[in-house]
Structure 1
Amino acid sequence: MMNVLMSYVLLLLVAFNVQANDWREARIEVQTLFNNALSEDDIYNASWAIYSPSKKIDWHFSGGQFSSGEKVTGANPFYTASIGKTFTSTAIAMLYERGYLKLTDEVTNYLPKEVVSGLHLFEGKDYSSEITIEQLLQHTSGLPDYFGDETYDDLPNATALLFAETDRMWTPVELLNISKKSMRPHFKPGASYRYSENGYVLLGLIVEQVSGLRLHDFFQQHIFTPLNMNNTYMHLRAKPRFATKKMSEVYVQNTNISTFKSLSLDWAGGGLVSTARDLNRFQMALHTFQLVTAETLEKMQQWIPESKGLYYGFGLRKVSSAERFSSNFNLNMIGHTGSTSSFMFYCPDLDIYLSGTFNQINQAQKSITAPFSILTYLQGDESNEK
């Protein structure tokens, strides 16, 4: 009996070693890709995590340093920017499943009149009361974007305010007022698609109104703690569950903006700090129905065109590699990107989760090109095995 058991253990070890060897070349290629990116002049630090339960891949890459000279490791969390939209949309989906709201409800059902009033004045008509939750989730409300849109009266938008008032702590209502005062909507609610940070501020306020919790507390109680995301928190508004290393520095060209209190201009649409491993833990839970049901996740993946090869659902973005890059590899990535060149994607075709950042706003395009490059290496290795 002992001999049989020992033989079985040896077979398992051999199988594991064979599989590990199968991915060794791909890991070297991904490491080279990471090193090449890190060597670019305006990338000061980076962190990636690649995970696949079916392929037994659990890789992490990190490098660079703080301005003090201290090394950046995978334990240093980073500013995730618009990846936070997936967390806010998931919070809405969880409340929907529990019967607290309907996705087709108007936002006026949940928010005070002073918040909603004057939100959507378009061509002489106030459409504020017609905006629905699902329109906010999918960026089809027509609302302006207080970060990216220009003002009509030469007042600064949020991008300018980030640098102009670096010590200011912003409230969610103040964020909405930036566009209320100086920006115009783009179309009637539901008529088209246009990315809007305003919509996700409203969604964050709805989560707070319905749940009775501050948004960062809702995340902590219903997402971070159950998933053991111990290094994830809302920047400037909360602390991580356990002691966590300091946040990696994030740059705009050569300017380190990590210490700016004005990063509070980002909230429900992208104010989270996390690690690549924590982000993979979250998206695996989402795609294996630990947070919402399969039916609800399917609702979140009702795609509409965003740009070439990009589609948007409810706080989720889909990238079609065949369309986006005219690639021979027909792979889809589902997740989100952030302006800080952060990314969080699941590739269902290969069962691979990828998360990471370059912490450089001027390299935002890498939030899509880098994960696709990683997948091509892994797809190539998988094809060679067959």
Structure 2
Amino acid sequence: MTKKYDEIFSRLVKSKQIHESVLLIQNTNGDFSYKNEYGGKSIDAPLLLASITKLFTTTCILILREQGKLSLDDKVMRFFDEGKLSGLHLYKRQEYTSKLTIANLLFQTSGLPDVSEEGKKNLRKLVLKEDMNITIDELITLTKELKPHFAPNTLNRSHYADINFDILGQIIECITGSSLEDVFKSFIFEPLGLEKTYLPIGEDDFIPKIYYKNNALSRPSYIKSCRASGGAISTPREMMVFIKAFFGGGLFNKGIFHQLDKYKKLQITFYPIQYGGGYMRIPLGGLSMLFMGKGELIGHSGSTGAFAFYYPEKDLFFVGDVNQSANPATAIRLAIRLAVSS
């Protein structure tokens, strides 16, 4: 099996767009472990988690739920000053903002647009040109300028949008009365002994460069703006500890997964990814995957090429980074190939 992993990783790093990459594979108890490194990127090197950060935000929401401090059915407006979110979800001349729930945000079923990828003020394109800071209030304003895709809870509809998790981050801070970085630390990093995982806030906090094709970009201000939706830093070794705890019940009662595994397809640009309650699912069998494999991958990937997935069929965890934001699908394809070859 390790020989197949070697071959897959070797083919990956032959691409001219891959300048550095790292891969770590383990089973639950750790008696099987495989690693491969390229371009100076080791399993202890810092990497930008991008949207894998959403798993941290999901964890905090689930812990607060266990503590009885929120329900997934709670209305989002409960946690905000009146007027701040007014007009956020105006669909076909009807206001749905007051109907949005925490579950709508967690499951990406709010219908809200994604300012990172949509509209003339598409943040992804703007950030490629220059670094920028953007506040949650500015994100909300930009979202209000775009049209939602559907009413909340529309049957079989989901639409991936960072704003869903940006708002969840605000709810976490509202409930706890603490900063998101402190909540991440007390709920996740300290209990798991993660010493190199953090949410950057100061000038001294290291933020890795991101490759876009052949250009290594430094975007510290923007990364610090992403926070709950994509701003965390970790290492592959520590992400392995976290992803095992996330799916293994080390942070919250894993019995909640029977409520979270209600998957819906995302917009076509995310195919074949589906979304559940705070995490992704990639089916490996059926016509859509040309009957390539069995089971599913569950976890999350990031737009910069980071990934952290669990493959229950073989009890394997895949963690790594290809660091190429020009083609985020590279990480997904790598994870699929690893699972199918296992």
TM-score by length of 1: 0.82
Structure 1 partner of 2:100: 131
- Confirm or deny: 8 A CA contact 2:210 2:323 kept in the other structure: yes
Where does residue 276 of structure 2 map in the other structure? 313
- From 68, 84, 87, the equivalent of 1:115 is 84
Contact 1:49-1:276 within 8 A present in 2 as well: yes
Give the Cα–Cα distance (whole angstroms) in 2 for the partners of residues 188 and 343 of structure 1: 30
Which of 209, 221, 229 is equivalent to 1:249?
209
Residues 234-289 of structure 1: CA deviation (Å, up to 9, x unaligned): 1345988xxxxx65432111222234422334221111111112112111112221
1:320 touches 1:333 (CA, 8 Å); kept in 2?
A: yes
Percent of aligned positions that are identical: 28
Deviation at 1:230? 1.5
Deviation string, structure 1 residues 140-183 (Cα, Å, up to 9, x no partner): 111111101114xxxx22113313441x3222222222222x31
Partner of 2:332: 368
Matched, 1:277 2:233: no
1:327 aligned to 275, 281, 291, which one? 291
Q: Distance in 2 between matches of 1:57 and 1:238?
A: 39
The 3-state SS of whatever aligns with 2:18 is: coil
Match status 1:60 vs 2:23: no
Distance 1:375 1:35, change over 3 A: same
Distance 1:53 1:177 in 2: 43
Letter in 1 for 2:189: F
1:297 and 1:114 map into 2 onto residues whose CA distance is 34
Q: Is 2:217 the counterpart of 1:217?
A: no
Q: Note the residue ranges of structure 1 that are not aligned, 5 or more in a row.
A: 1-25, 65-70, 241-245, 379-386
Deviates more, 1:247-256 or 1:105-114: 247-256
Aligned match for 1:300, one of 243, 260, 265: 260
5 Å-filtered alignment, 1:158-197, equals 158-166=123-131, 168-180=132-144, 182-191=145-154, 192-197=157-162
Q: CA deviation at 1:309?
A: 4.4
Query: Contact 2:109–2:159 at 8 Å: present in 1 too?
Result: yes
Query: Which of 250-259 and 339-348 deviates more?
Result: 250-259
Is this contact kept in 1: 2:51–2:229, CA < 8 A?
Answer: yes
CA contact (8 A) 1:331 1:349 kept: yes
Partner SS state of residue 213, structure 1: coil
1:107-151 superposed Cα distances (whole Å, 9 cap, x missing partner): 011122243122112222221111010001111111111101114
- Output the aligned Cα RMSD: 2.0
Contact 2:44 2:237 in 1 (8 A): no
Corresponding letter in the other structure for 2:31: K
In 2, distance between residues paired with 1:34 and 1:276?
Answer: 16
TM-score normalised according to structure 2 size: 0.92
1:91 pairs with 2:60: yes
8 Å CA contact 1:76–1:248 kept in 2: the answer is no
Counterpart amino acid of residue 338 in structure 2? I
